Amino acid sequence: MAHEPDGQALISPARGTRPANRRELIVRAAADLFYRKGYATVGMGEVARAVAIGPSALYRHFRGKQDLLATVVGNALEAVDVTLAAASSSDVGVRLAAFALEHRGIGVLWRREARHLSADNRAQLRLVTDRIVTRLIDLIRERRPALGVAEADLLARSALAVGISASFHSLSLPEPGFNNLLGELITATIDAPIALADPMTSHLDTVAAVLTGSRRETILVEAAKLFARNGFAGVSMDDIGATAGITGPSVYNHFPAKTDILTAAMFRGDEWLRMGMNRAFAQANDPCDALRRLLRSYAEFVFENPHLIQLLISESVHLPDAVRDRGRAAQRSYIAEWVHLAGQVHPTWDLSSARIRVQAAQTIVNEISLTPQFRTDPAVESAVVVIGARLLAIAQD
């Protein structure tokens, strides 16, 4: 589960000045605004004001907002690539942690905002992400020569997930405490025991489609998938109607507005997570067993409903303020249950450290469930539970 990022706006340069690094300042300001407010809600005029220039001056540097977003995300990914190119198999965890904390917005920008880019821009950025993953795979296999490519790939993406987990919360620790903890978690992920089938075998292709029982349910399920894939702002009522087998206007017979569909989908996800949590608590023998069962319950839900997790991560910015606040409170409350359990199992952990560990474990599950090639291997869900348990320092059965 993800907590919406908090933060403070950058300080604007004095109006009328012409700093030599104006383009860099524009990119930094846009990155901050896209991170805190969401790409769809930020206008070019707001970016221009953040660097004390007029909109026309902004367009001398960038063709439009999408061009600016492509630059923001591309620069961030290139910086990750440079960091890993300089890393060794022995210090990769430390280097990746330091980078992640210096550039805390990168995870949100990539996971939430990159979907707004053109197909060509996304394809170019995927080349960079593939290069990043390949570099990390090579470092992991140098560190652990017995690993196969599939295992190293999963560990590489999991390690990156631990790094970007800091994007989804505003927690801090006195330094070097945060750097050290995040580095330890990344290293623990890289060194986690793992075994996957090689080559990966598909099980999802054999699953028969199940028809939903009502038109309203069909709309809700299909709209949630569309919102997750294309972003709330990129989906129209006509799109929703087409996937549900009806006309766009007919959707209004079941939901008053598009935001009502998003609200229903997001709160359904939260309710299902809480049902799984309550079941885990009811079946547990002690706090450690409860935390173990809670981790498994979370992984089961996420792998079965990756589109709902994508909504929880990225689309709450489009909800009305009161609904968004309620959703954030529900997310924080759910995470607090994990942190409370972790504190019972490990009384020496402070609350911030425990939550950083919880967020890292959850982000691994989220990121791997949203990676298409891993959703086709039934062993992956178990593998991420093992990695998550390692980060939470709990033994597996």
* Closest C-alpha among 64, 13, 373 to residue 196: 373
Q: Are 364 and 189 in contact (CB under 8 A)?
A: yes
Q: State residue 61's pLDDT score.
A: 92
| Type of residue numbered 187 | T
Per residue of the chain (397 residues), what is the pLDDT tens digit?
655 554 444 445 555 556 678 899 999 999 999 988 888 889 999 999 999 998 888 999 999 999 999 999 999 999 999 999 999 999 999 999 999 999 988 888 888 888 788 889 999 999 999 999 999 999 999 999 999 999 999 999 999 999 999 998 889 889 899 999 999 999 999 999 988 865 444 444 433 344 456 889 999 999 999 998 888 888 999 999 999 999 989 999 999 999 999 999 888 888 899 999 999 999 999 999 999 999 999 999 999 988 888 888 778 878 888 888 888 888 899 999 999 999 999 999 999 999 999 999 999 999 999 888 887 777 999 999 999 999 999 977 6
Q: State residue 18's pLDDT score.
A: 63
Q: State residue 210's pLDDT score.
A: 43
Tell whether omega for the bond before 19 is within 30 degrees of 0, i.e. cis. Answer: no
Q: Are 19 and 25 in contact (CB under 8 A)?
A: yes
Return all residues near 109 (Cβ < 8 A) that are at least 6 apart: 31, 34, 35, 72, 73, 76, 167
Q: Whole-prediction pTM value? A: 0.86
Return all residues near 4 (Cβ < 8 A) that are at least 6 apart: 168, 316, 317, 324, 328, 331
Q: Are 126 and 325 in contact (CB under 8 A)?
A: no
Q: State residue 8's pLDDT score.
A: 44
Q: State residue 1's pLDDT score.
A: 63
Q: Note every long-range contact of 289-295, with CB atoms under 8 Å and residues 24 or more positions apart, other chains counting.
A: 290/341, 291/338, 291/341, 291/342, 291/345, 291/392, 291/394, 292/389, 292/394, 292/395, 292/396, 292/397, 294/337, 294/338, 294/341, 295/361, 295/385, 295/388, 295/389, 295/392, 295/394
Q: State residue 328's pLDDT score.
A: 86
Kindly report the backbone phi and psi dihedral angles of residue 104, in degrees, each rounded to the nearest multiple of 5, phi listed first: -70, -20
| Domains of the chain, CATH where assigned | 89-190 (1.10.357.10), 204-391 (1.10.357.10)
Q: State residue 213's pLDDT score.
A: 62
Q: State residue 300's pLDDT score.
A: 93
